[in-house]
């Protein structure tokens, strides 16, 4: 199946999909980076509210295993979001399996911390390719299917949601590659929203605080606690616990963000039909809009 055939199938299936119970009953969602961490937590919440969910991840084996944990309405597929052909294939395979796309959650991301002196051009390009270019590829191909569905039913609304970061709202010392891409992601969100609203496609970003229990932060070899300690990001920190306490102290609520916190923001984005182009903080008060 090619993209044109996928668009035709999505138009054909828009009125014949099986319905399920829940707030998102009958909807079809893709979550990139969905095999573990925030991505899996978000996919789990979407599934629990009745959506059929594709867990898309560069780790295909883990994506399939995680999908099996959810149930028969979940599917694990491989994707490399830094590769436009891979993203296009993900969209086509999703339509072939489920019949369309209602919600696309662009969650996959990477981080390399380091100073201007230490971070290499290759590391900077890697982070940007995944976090910034990857979001563009996801929005590009997902919107093709959503536009086709709009042609078949101009009453329905569809959603592209980027899982951004509090680092997309304020600068981050020794973390400029990540923060710069996330700032850029909000620019893309606002621009995509203006372009796609006539097709009933809402585009919003959610900016979570730190998910300390996930592998991004807690991996003992590559996690951010280790990276930030080694990069000297936290003044005076001697141990990982010093780094963690420093970040916990930044939030008035004094805990990390969870997938459940992000899911509540995501449900808001999907359920309302009078908001687009927004960057919604979910930071426990650590980052407040001005």
Stated pTM of the model:
0.92
pLDDT of residue 222: 80
pLDDT of residue 281: 95
pLDDT of residue 278: 97
pLDDT of residue 213: 82
Q: Is the pLDDT of residue 247 over 90?
A: no
User: How large is the average pLDDT for residues 148-158?
Assistant: 96
Single out the catalytic residue among 132, 135, 178, 212: 178
The full 3-state SS of the chain, as one line of letters, equals CCHHHHHHHHHHHCCCCCCCCCCCCCCEEEEECCCCHHHHHHHHHHHHCCCEEEEEECCHHHHHHHHHHHCCCEEEEECCCCCHHHHHHHHHHHHHHHCCCCEEEECCCCCCCCCCCCCCHHHHHHHHHHHHHHHHHHHHHHHHHHHHHHHHCCCCCEEEEEECCHHHCCCCCCCHHHHHHHHHHHHHHHHHHHHHHHHCEEEEEEEECCCCCCHHHHCCCCCHHHHHHHHCCCCCCCCHHHHHHHHHCCCCCCCCCCHHHHHHHHHHHHHCCCCCCCEEEECCCCCCCC
**Catalytic: 178?**
yes
pLDDT of residue 114: 86
pLDDT of residue 19: 78
Domains of the chain: 3-209+258-282 (3.40.50.720), 212-250 (no CATH)
Residues 87-108 pLDDT 10s? 999 999 999 999 999 999 999 9
């Amino acid at each position: 199946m090619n993209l044109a055939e996928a668009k035709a199938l999505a138009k054909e299936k828009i009125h014949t999909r099986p319905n399920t119970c829940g707030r998102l009953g009958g909807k079809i969602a893709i979550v990139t980076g969905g095999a573990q961490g925030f991505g899996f937590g978000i996919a789990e919440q979407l599934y629990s509210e009745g959506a059929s969910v594709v867990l898309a991840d560069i780790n295909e084996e883990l994506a399939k295993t995680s999908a099996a944990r959810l149930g028969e309405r979940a599917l694990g597929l491989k994707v490399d979001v830094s590769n436009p052909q891979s993203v296009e294939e993900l969209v086509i395979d999703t339509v072939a399996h489920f019949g369309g796309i209602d919600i696309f959650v662009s969650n996959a991301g990477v981080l390399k911390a380091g100073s201007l002196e230490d971070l290499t051009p290759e590391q900077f390009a890697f982070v940007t390719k995944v976090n910034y270019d990857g979001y563009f590829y996801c929005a590009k191909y997902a919107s093709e299917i959503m536009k086709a569905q709009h042609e078949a039913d101009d009453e329905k609304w569809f959603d592209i949601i980027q899982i951004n970061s509090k680092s997309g709202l304020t600068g981050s010392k020794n973390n400029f590659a990540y923060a710069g891409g996330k700032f850029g992601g909000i620019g893309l969100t606002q621009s995509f929203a203006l372009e796609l609203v006539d097709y009933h496609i809402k585009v919003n970003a959610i900016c979570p605080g730190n998910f300390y229990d996930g592998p991004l932060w807690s991996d003992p070899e590559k996690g951010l606690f280790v990276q930030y300690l080694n990069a000297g990001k936290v003044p005076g920190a001697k141990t990982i616990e010093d780094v963690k306490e420093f970040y916990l102290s930044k939030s008035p609520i004094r805990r990390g963000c969870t997938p459940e916190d992000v899911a509540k923001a995501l449900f808001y984005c999907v359920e309302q039909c009078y908001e687009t182009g927004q960057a919604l903080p979910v930071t426990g008060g650590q980052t407040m809009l001005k």
